[in-house]
Amino acid sequence: MEKQPESKNALRPGRQYNFQPTLELEKAAACRGFKKIAGVDEAGRGPLAGPVVAAAVILGDRWNDNHPLNDSKRLSAKNREQLFDVICSEALATKIVSISAEEIDRLNILQATLFCMLRCLTEIELAPDYVLVDGNFYPETKIQGEAVVKGDGRSKSIAAASILAKVTRDRVMVKNAKRYPEWGFEHHKGYPTKKHREAIEKYGLSPLHRRSFQLKPLVKQDYRHSTAQLYLL
């Protein structure tokens, strides 16, 4: 699973980009003879707790282009939920896969994410023949495709996958907040906010926390004996 070489879709470092996703990348692949074009994205690489979730979406040539797909981070929670239902009911094929914190600790977050994406591609009901993957890395698969930097803001297929992954992961964290109320997962979804880090300092680590992630201290003091410290393996 190696970093993809730069392509015509690579972005120049240091530049600011403000994309609106389109179907241009999908159409370009279709012009080359590909028919089942999947967008793939993930949610949850950065949090201190919870799973990483990946999704694959094949919108299909009958997709209604009027649906306002966008990078999930640029949509409200309400809009994400609405679009989640639309994508699941109208896309040609979808697949969502979750990898637990324990597996993340065993594999490391990059490899866990790529494995999650690979499972999406192998388990989706309609096998894709071309794949658009958000980011710099491409799963180890024989399926042709490309890694697209800022892809969730450029490709509607990737944007759809980002919505499925984000909504699914948020639901998991809200549900688990009832089991572990001390950490307030329903608010920060496991990301390293100040309140989340304060909860870790007070209560230690929950079963959802990733032991291989490093927690930056809130203040300068001796954390050698703190039950809340996370070590980077």
pLDDT digits (tens, 9 = 90+) for 136-167: 999 999 999 999 999 999 999 999 999 999 99
Between CA 126 and CA 57 the distance in angstroms is 10
User: Confidence class of residue 9 from pLDDT cuts 50, 70 and 90?
Assistant: low
pLDDT at 8 over 80: no
Mean pLDDT over 74-101 rounds to 97
3-class secondary structure per residue, the chain? CCECCCCCCCCCCCCCCCCCCECHHHHHHHHCCCCCEEEEEEECCCCCECCEEEEEEECCCCCCCCCCCCCHHHCCHHHHHHHHHHHHHHCCEEEEEEECHHHHHHHCHHHHHHHHHHHHHHHCCCCCCEEEEECCECCCCCCCEEEECCHHHCEHHHHHHHHHHHHHHHHHHHHHHHHCHHHCHHHHCCCCCHHHHHHHHHHCCCCCECCCCCCCCCCCCCCCCCCCCCCCC
CATH architecture designation of domain 24-177: 2-Layer Sandwich (3.30)
Tokens 């291989």 correspond to 212
Mean pLDDT over 159-184 rounds to 98
Tokens 């390293």 correspond to 192
Between CA 181 and CA 72 the distance in angstroms is 26
Q: Which of 96, 33, 38 is nearest to 63 (CA)?
A: 38
**What is the model's pTM?**
0.86
User: Confidence class of residue 73 from pLDDT cuts 50, 70 and 90?
Assistant: very high
Tokens 């977050």 correspond to 109
For residue 82, CA distances in Å to 53, 85, 87 come to 19, 6, 9
pLDDT the model gives residue 10: 55
pLDDT the model gives residue 11: 54
**Which residues, in sequence order, are bridge partners of residue 37?**
130
